[in-house]
Amino acid sequence: MGEKDRGPSTTAVHGGEPDVRDDRALTVPVVLSSTYPFADTAELVDYMEGRRTRPPEYGRYGNPTVAAAEAKLAAVEGGEAAVLMASGMAAITTTLLAMLRKGQHLVLTGDVYRKTRVFARDTLARFGVEVDVVEPTVEAVAAAIRPTTKVLFTESPTNPYLRIVDLDGLVALAREKRVRTILDATFATPVNLRPLAHGVDLVVHSTTKYLGGHNDIMGGVVVGSAAMIGAIREQLGTLGAVADPLGAFLLVRGVKTLALRLARQNASALALAELLERHPAVERVWYPMLASHPDHALARRYLAGGGAVVSFELRGGLAAGTRFVDALRIPKLAPSLGGVESLVEQPALMSYYELSPDERAAVGIREGLVRLSIGIEDLEDLAADLQQALAHL
At 108, give phi and psi (nearest 5°).
Answer: -110, 145
**Cβ-Cβ contacts under 8 Å for 217 (sequence gap 6 or more):** 207, 208, 247, 250, 251, 254
Shared domain check, 328 and 246: no
- Give the domain CATH number at 184: 3.40.640.10
211 and 100 in a common domain:
yes
Residue 357 confidence (pLDDT): 77
Query: What is the arithmetic mean of pLDDT over 193-219?
Result: 98
Q: Where does 47-104 show beta strands of DSSP type E?
A: 81-85
Question: How many domains does one find in the chain?
Answer: 2
- What are the pLDDT digits (tens) for 14-57? 888 888 887 788 889 999 999 999 999 999 999 999 898 888 99
In degrees and rounded to multiples of 5, residue 284 shows phi and psi of -160, 150
User: Rounded to whole angstroms, how far apart are CA atoms 66 and 84?
Assistant: 7
CA distance 91 to 83: 8
Q: What is the pLDDT of residues 303-340, one digit of tens each?
A: 999 999 999 999 999 999 999 999 999 999 999 999 99
- Structural domain that includes position 323: 258-390
- Using CA atoms, how far apart are residues 204 and 122, in angstroms rounded to an integer? 21
The strands making up 202-206's β-sheet, listed across from edge to edge, are 81-85, 220-224, 202-206, 180-184, 149-155, 105-109, 130-134
Q: 12 or 23: which carries more pLDDT confidence?
A: 12
- Residue 96 inside a domain? The answer is yes
**CA 36 and chain centroid, separation:** 32
Same domain as 209, residue 103: yes
Q: Examine residue 38 and state whether it is found in any structural domain, yes or no.
A: no
pLDDT of residue 362: 74
The catalytic residue positions are: 60, 113, 184, 209
Do 275 and 338 belong to one domain? yes
Q: Which of 211, 227, 255 is the last residue of a domain?
A: 255
- pLDDT at position 4 is 72
Query: Is residue 279 assigned to a domain?
Result: yes
pLDDT of residue 64: 95
Residues 13 and 156 in one domain: yes
Question: Helices 226-239 and 88-99 sit at what angle, rounded to 10 degrees?
Answer: 110
- Report the pLDDT value the prediction gives residue 71, as an integer from 0 to 100: 97
Distance of alpha carbon 262 from its chain centroid, rounded? Answer: 14
- The residue from 255, 271, 289 where one domain ends is 255
Across 362-389, average pLDDT:
93
Residue 262 pLDDT grade (very low, low, confident, very high; cuts 50, 70, 90):
very high
**Distance of alpha carbon 138 from alpha carbon 130, whole angstroms:** 20
Q: What is the mean pLDDT of the chain?
A: 94
Q: Are residues 224 and 275 in the same domain?
A: no
Q: Which secondary-structure segment (H or E) carries 360?
A: helix 357-362
Q: Name the pTM for this structure.
A: 0.94
- The pLDDT value given to residue 213: 98
Decide if pLDDT at 2 tops 70: no
Residues 245 and 350 in one domain: no
Q: Residue 1 pLDDT > 70, yes or no?
A: no
**Integer angstrom CA distances of residue 293 from 298, 312, 383:** 10, 11, 21
Report DSSP letters for 258-275, one per residue: HHHHHHHHHHHHHHHHHH
Instruction: Give me the torsion for CA of 127, 222, 253, 31, rounded to 10°.
Output: -70
Residue 213, number of CB atoms within 10 A of its CB: 28
365 and 232 in one domain? Answer: no
pLDDT digits (tens, 9 = 90+) for 165-174: 999 999 999 9
Q: Are residues 79 and 218 in the same domain?
A: yes
Mean pLDDT of 132-157: 97
Q: How many CB atoms lie within 10 A of CB 333?
A: 13
According to the model, what pLDDT value does residue 93 have?
A: 98
299 shares its domain with 198: no
Examine the fold and report which residue of 226, 255, 284 is the final residue of a domain before the chain moves on.
255
Same domain, 245 and 270: no
In a domain, 44, yes or no: no
The neighbour count for residue 125, using CB atoms within 10 Å, is 13
Contact call for residues 192 and 304 (beta carbons, < 8 A): yes
For residue 51, being part of any structural domain is answered with no
- Is the pLDDT reported for residue 9 higher than 80? yes
Does some domain include residue 40? Answer: no
d(CA 147, CA 8): 40
172 and 211 together in one domain: yes
Are 100 and 150 in contact by the 8 Å Cβ rule? The answer is yes
H helix or E strand, kind and range, residue 235:
helix 226-239
- Nearest-CA neighbor of 223 among 195, 251, 261? 195
Q: What does each C-alpha distance from 41 to 44, 48, 54 come to in angstroms?
A: 5, 10, 14
Q: Does 120 fall in a domain?
A: yes
| Amino acid identity at 245 | P
Residue 293 near residue 179, CB atoms below 8 Å = no
Task: Indicate whether 47 belongs to any domain.
Answer: no
pLDDT attached to residue 267:
98
Q: Residue 302: which CATH number?
A: 3.90.1150.10
Q: Taking Cα atoms as reference points, which of 254, 190, 186, 182 lies closest to residue 216?
A: 254
Q: Place 368 in a pLDDT band, splitting at 50, 70 and 90.
A: confident
Confidence class of residue 175 from pLDDT cuts 50, 70 and 90?
very high
Helix, strand, coil shares of the chain, percent, nearest 5, are 45, 15, 40
Q: Which helix (H) or strand (E) holds 162?
A: none
Q: Average pLDDT, stretch 104-124?
A: 95
Give the 3-state secondary structure of residue 181.
strand
CA-closest candidate to residue 306, choices 320, 319, 295? 295
